[in-house]
Amino acid sequence: MKKRVVALLMAAVMVAGLTACGGSGNESAPAQEPAAEAPAADDGAEAPAEDAEAEDAEAEAPAASDGSKILKVQIGPDPETIDPALNSAVDGGNMLLHAFECLLVVDQDGQLAPGQAESWETSEDGLTWTFHLREGLKWSDGSDLTANDFVYSWKRVCDPNVAAPYAETVLSMVAGYEDAIGGNLDALQVVAEDDRTLVVTLNAPCSYFGSLAAFATLSPVQQATVEANGDAWAIAPETYVSNGPFYMTEWVEGSHILFSKNPNYWNADAIKLDGIQFALIEDSNAAYSAYQTEEVLFIKDVPTEEIPSLEGNGDFYVDPIIGTYYISLNLNNEAFADAKVRRALSLAIDREYVGGTLMQGTYTAAGNFMGPGWTDTDGTPFIDKANGGNAYIDTTNFEANLEEAKALMEEAGYPNGEGFPSISYTTNDAGYHKVVAEYLQQAWAELGIDLQVNIVEWSSFTPMRRNGEYDVVRNGWVGDYSDPSNMLDLLYSTNGNNDGKFNNADYDAAMDTSRTTLDAAERSEALHTAEDILMEETACIPIAYYNDFWLQSDKITGSWHSPYGYWYFMYADITDGAGAADAAETTEAAE
């Protein structure tokens, strides 16, 4: 089993996967017909670093039947949506990463780099950000892309009719946001001074705004196409106009999505692949079979029962990522109105057993909501100052935790669970989710609670969770950037990703302070106060800190994995396998 230390303290954003695709649209726009040649890259622009040895190897790559070089990978089933404004899941995020490009990007070293903008600057007071777009930018259909496309796209994220789940997270610091989210979109202070200059005015300095400018939600989308097709623009190759290194050419539901090289991408000359085919496989055993037969060269969903046999296998990777596997309680359910009940449910879970045994050591027991990798305002690990430097829950002392849980249930009026209603736990059946659900049945039975397990398909799971159609539900978050607000914002009362509907005035006040103060120490204190409240109120139940584990053939070179849970294949190549060492070195360098 490969375990590598990942640079978790990067301050840059990686795209987050996202959610729901809406209903039917109006008449379709014409099919995309990319021009034969991409615009030349600016002289000063540099492609991401590539593995020199892999370039020198010149190994003949496997090709499709028509002679093209198609990389086939598995990252999940059909995504709920691949509309940048609506997505909030990792699988969709990986696709968006390859189809769209924001003003800025994050390179393989985790640093912010030019994307659609070749340069940018910030005013001395930190309130004005000016982005200078590259000359000759094009959409995948060959039409011109200008600064006005970003103005439209960012305002669309604020549109209450769109209901983008990330709107508050990515744009609340922009001047005019409150009016824009209320329906006056033109109030948002995002202005195109000319075709190549975008000016953004903030209501307060935001040190990580550069990371937001590299975040998938703020990708540009083509106004004419979206308005002509409604939500349906994002479900058909003919209307899925994008601006990244690849563009969609085929979507066969339940089978695959094919993204082909975009000749209109500004850096098309650096793209070696002719396409990336995302195999839409939900069952991990089916994914494993496809990997063994080389139908795909990469799978994200590895059968957990295979993990012991994969230890020591050069194709098997385990890397820590910045995020937490947790449980959401539906706080609109009267059963969870008492914080004592919520805390009892949390303390009755043996996190060391879950992480070390059920999850076979691939995840780590979580005593805090905010785990390793999040960066405090002074650059130190956020977790070091949390709760006075101590975990909120001592995961090494389960017996004492269980006794406290039983006492709390009695104090709440449910001795041995008497009078407490039967509840259900909703999850999808992937990875460790089902075995964790079965464990929770046993763990909460110790409190006298009857828990039913509700297994649903991925396509149904995320909308059910978002709509509050559950009692208890599996949840989790992988950071989009290392500022703690990225995850703490999830519990803000009006946040679109607040699945449990936690609503606490003191919590909101602490987060408001963190958004507006110019004092780094005060901001740090506010963020820590927010986590104190979250854990005291058991707004959700953290279980384990994430790691990613996957299988990747040594025929893939030049790709990398980020500590934000994404795989970057856009500058990858496929060889005959001789590049195994090169692939490993490339990944190591990125981490």
Instruction: Tell me the DSSP string of 234-283.
Output: GG-TTT----SSEEEEEEETTTEEEEEE-TTSTTGGG---SEEEEEE---
Nearest in space to 91 (alpha carbons), one of 307, 328, 287, 370: 287
* Whole-number Å distance between alpha carbons of 48 and 184: 39
In tens, the pLDDT along 63-100 reads 455 668 999 999 999 999 999 999 988 899 999 999 99
* Whole-number Å distance between alpha carbons of 44 and 63: 33
Is pLDDT above 90 for 322?
yes
Is pLDDT above 80 for 9?
no
CA triple 348-351-357, angle to 5 deg: 125
In tens, the pLDDT along 99-128 reads 999 999 999 988 899 999 999 999 999 999
In tens, the pLDDT along 435-487 reads 999 999 999 999 999 999 999 998 899 899 999 999 999 999 999 888 999 99
pLDDT band at 532; cut points 50, 70, 90 = very high
User: What average pLDDT score do residues 554-582 get?
Assistant: 84
User: What average pLDDT score do residues 316-344 get?
Assistant: 96
* Whole-number Å distance between alpha carbons of 131 and 123: 12
Q: What percent of the chain has pLDDT over 70?
A: 86
The three-class DSSP label of residue 551 is strand
Q: Give me Rg for the CA atoms of the chain.
A: 24
Looking at residue 55, its pLDDT comes to: 39
Per-residue CA distances from 236 to 25, 46, 301 (Å): 11, 32, 26
CA triple 563-129-560, angle to 5 deg: 20
Looking at residue 32, its pLDDT comes to: 55
Per-residue CA distances from 144 to 68, 137, 169, 194 (Å): 28, 6, 29, 14
Return all residues near 141 (Cβ < 8 A) that are at least 6 apart: 32, 33, 34, 222, 241, 264
Is pLDDT above 60 for 338?
yes
Looking at residue 289, its pLDDT comes to: 98
The Cβ of residue 136 has, within 10 Å, a number of other Cβ atoms equal to 15
Looking at residue 110, its pLDDT comes to: 84
Is the entire prediction scored with pTM above 0.85? no
Looking at residue 66, its pLDDT comes to: 64
* Whole-number Å distance between alpha carbons of 553 and 583: 9
Please compute, for residue 415, the number of CA atoms within 13 A of its CA located in the half-sphere on the CB side: 0
Phi then psi dihedrals of residue 418, to 5 deg: -60, 125
The three-class DSSP label of residue 556 is strand
Looking at residue 65, its pLDDT comes to: 55
Crossing angle of the two packed helices 339-347 and 398-411, in degrees rounded to 10: 160
Rounded to a whole number of angstroms, the distance between the first and last alpha carbons of the chain is 17
Looking at residue 555, its pLDDT comes to: 97
Least confident of 34-43, 132-141, 220-229, 501-510: 34-43
Looking at residue 362, its pLDDT comes to: 87
Return all residues near 335 (Cβ < 8 A) that are at least 6 apart: 341, 420, 421, 423, 471
Tell me the average pLDDT of the chain. Answer: 87
Torsion-angle region of residue 130: left (phi > 0), alpha (psi -120 to 50) or beta?
Answer: beta
Is pLDDT above 60 for 58?
no
Residues in a beta bridge with 578: none
Return all residues near 184 (Cβ < 8 A) that are at least 6 apart: 176
In tens, the pLDDT along 148-180 reads 999 999 999 999 999 999 999 999 999 999 999
Phi then psi dihedrals of residue 61, to 5 deg: -90, 145
More confident residue, 53 or 189: 189
In tens, the pLDDT along 29-38 reads 334 544 433 3
User: What average pLDDT score do residues 389-399 get?
Assistant: 97
**Torsion angle in degrees (nearest 10) through CA of 381, 387, 391, 394:** 180
Looking at residue 26, its pLDDT comes to: 30
In tens, the pLDDT along 262-317 reads 999 999 999 999 999 999 999 999 999 999 999 999 999 999 899 999 988 999 99
Instruction: Give me the count of residues in the chain.
Output: 591
Looking at residue 24, its pLDDT comes to: 28
Written as six digits, the tokens of 484 are 């703690």
Is pLDDT above 90 for 420?
yes
Q: Which residues of 86-120 are buried (b: 16+ CB within 10 A; e: fewer)?
A: bbbbbbbbbbbbbbbbbbbbbbbebebbbbbbbeb
pLDDT band at 590; cut points 50, 70, 90 = very low
DSSP for 335-378 reads GG-SHHHHHHHHHTS-HHHIIIIITTTSSEE-SSSS-TT-B-TT
Judging by beta carbons within 10 Å of its beta carbon (0-12, 13-18, 19+), is residue 328 exposed, middle or buried? buried
Is pLDDT above 50 for 54?
no
More confident residue, 481 or 492: 492
Looking at residue 585, its pLDDT comes to: 37
Looking at residue 577, its pLDDT comes to: 63
The three-class DSSP label of residue 520 is helix
In tens, the pLDDT along 202-243 reads 998 998 999 999 999 999 999 999 999 999 999 999 999 999
* Whole-number Å distance between alpha carbons of 266 and 243: 9
